[in-house]
Chains A and B, each alone.
Chain A
């Protein structure tokens, strides 16, 4: 993939908190304490639009907490973050800056920043197609009064269903559309969750360990899907443990340890960074994480 990569990061300095040419997220001074422990302490963070950014770090580095803070699933003790949204189909210059502070997680999603979860949250006792439909926005039938009058929402429901079928086809789940989501395999549920997130046509998708628990046969197609998202113009930020995957698909890597960003840069260069190696060696001293495969 690396040879087809347009260089979005030209001139960006490989250092923690580096400024990006066209940041979709800018976060400043984000801290989160649990009891006396500081889980997250990020001075400055920017994510480049249209790029795949990987967030890596040893266990307990605060990656998932940082994710939760950005998506308002958790509340920071201090700091501010902004989301530079661009409506789908609009030029990148048409930026609407949204302050993420104090925003509900639902509103963050509506603004175009949709997430998935480390422990897959497929809605098990709903069918696959209903899971997908739930991801769509602008369905007036979700208003209780409109819901009573089917003609008010049938047309939109049809559009949503068509959109869902296209996505399911792409994620190879179309023949499962009437099954309960709970009957899918772990990997298929990951795919469903990702497809469902795309129903809202987000400008940014945040994937929390998309490969966790997915069997190796499916990881390839999962990787292709993530790269495919980028080709559709969606910005991707993902947390991952598997360095091999990170190196294959990401344009930029941000390394966290003990709640702080300790390094940033091109995937190949970052992994050679001594600080990064030290942070990892602290927890995985007997695994050779950085060997090229």
Chain B
């Protein structure tokens, strides 16, 4: 049992990246009631837009811009046919479109840009960002229980600042007249329409904002790992859903708490499993931990749909 591993994963760029994606999903689902089942697709679009731009010689800022524009276009592409239809159509279209992005990304067709199924290696796109690091010289730095390389410290700083900004954005918009319209849409579209609001346009705005946050999460994730299309399959989307529902949909801090708890429990179960089940083969440990994620998701929906921070009265999940 190593408590340090759990602490390290809690502050890791991966946790920050997923917190960002979960805040994005909170705009979709928590605020607006949209069933986006393709958040991993937004993350993947974000990391491709960013990494391909840089690997083809563009600057980091251009990379971020293209990553966000990609997410906006993806949201328009998804929302255009489906936001007028019943909720489950959006679910099917988003999951299909996210899968399409992954399949095109991993295909040999555009290998020159996307790197095919092996994706893009870190040294193809991480340079410009790491060169901006104020923590020089590059070395391992230990602070309390945390021991990371300076590039990771730099990435964590940026990642968690981004999470804070996104949370503040959610807080501000949630309590604004704009957020009020979205909550109305979540409750009853026709009622909001009868009050003179263009429901379609509001839903599209929510889809775009949440999608851009997903793309930002993708960029952070790629920096902590690499661009790997197969790491962003639909299972990844399901994880993000688990995080959001665990922390509490429609709350400001829910997605962040959800991401932290998700990864902490994941590492915890991985550490605990060999102690409880000594016969388990090493390669069976990770699947076991993930199986618990699934069971946890079922229990959450059945027994505590509002999550840890949610208000039962406000968000009992009936969409």
Contact = CB atoms under 8 A, between A and B. Distances in A.
Interface of A: 71, 73, 104-107, 109-110, 114-117, 121-126, 130, 133-135, 137, 139, 141-144, 146-148, 150, 153, 157, 180, 182, 193, 196-197, 199-200
B176 A135 contact: no
Q: Which 9 A-B pairs have the closest CB atoms?
A: A141-B177, A109-B196, A121-B191, A147-B178, A147-B176, A123-B187, A110-B196, A139-B177, A105-B193
A125 to B, nearest CB: 5
Nearest to B192: A134
B142 interface: no
A90 to B, nearest CB: 19
A98 to B, nearest CB: 13
Contacts of A125: 183, 186-187, 313-316
A114 B194 contact: yes
Contact of A144 (B194, B199, B209): B209
Given A134-B181, A147-B179, A148-B169, A126 B187 contact: yes
A148 B175 CA distance: 10
B180 interface: yes
B147 interface: no
A104 B180 CA distance: 21
A144 B179 CA distance: 9
A144 B195 contact: no
Among A142, A143, A146, A148: residue with most chain B CB under 10 A: A142
B198 interface: yes
B169 A106 contact: no
Interface residues of B, number: 30
B24 to A, nearest CB: 15
Nearest to B173: A147
A209 B186 CA distance: 25
A114 B314 CA distance: 27
Nearest to A200: B196
Interface in B261-276: none
A107 B198 CA distance: 8
B188 to A, nearest CB: 5
A142 B184 CA distance: 12
Interface in B180-221: 180-181, 183-184, 186-188, 190-199, 205, 209
Contacts of B186: 125
B180 A133 contact: yes
A142 B191 contact: no
B172 A134 contact: no
Contact of A153 (B176, B196, B197, B199): B176
Given A73-B193, A123-B183, A143-B178, 11 more contacts: A73-B194, A105-B194, A110-B196, A114-B194, A125-B314, A130-B180, A134-B195, A144-B209, A146-B178, A147-B177, A197-B194
B200 to A, nearest CB: 9
Nearest to B175: A150
B198 A104 contact: yes
A114 B183 contact: no
A142 B187 contact: no
B177 A133 contact: yes
Nearest to A196: B195
20 contacts: A73-B190, A73-B193, A104-B193, A106-B193, A106-B196, A117-B190, A117-B194, A123-B191, A125-B183, A125-B313, A126-B184, A133-B180, A134-B184, A139-B177, A142-B178, A142-B181, A142-B197, A144-B178, A147-B173, A147-B178
A148 B168 CA distance: 10
A200 B195 contact: yes
A137 B191 CA distance: 14
Nearest to A140: B177
Interface in B282-319: 313-316
A254 B3 CA distance: 76
Given A117-B190, A123-B187, A109 B176 contact: no
B177 A71 contact: no
Q: A110, A122, A135, A143: which has the most chain B beta carbons within 10 Å?
A: A135
Given A141-B176, A148-B169, A123 B194 contact: no
Contacts of B191: 117, 121-123, 193
A131 B209 CA distance: 24
A48 to B, nearest CB: 23
B195 A116 contact: no
B134 to A, nearest CB: 28
Contacts of B187: 123-126
Contacts of B169: 148
Interface in B207-252: 209
B176 A148 contact: yes
B181 A109 contact: no
Contacts of B205: 144
A158 B64 CA distance: 39
A153 to B, nearest CB: 6
A285 B257 CA distance: 64
Nearest to B313: A180
A133 B181 CA distance: 10
A137 B177 CA distance: 11
B165 to A, nearest CB: 11
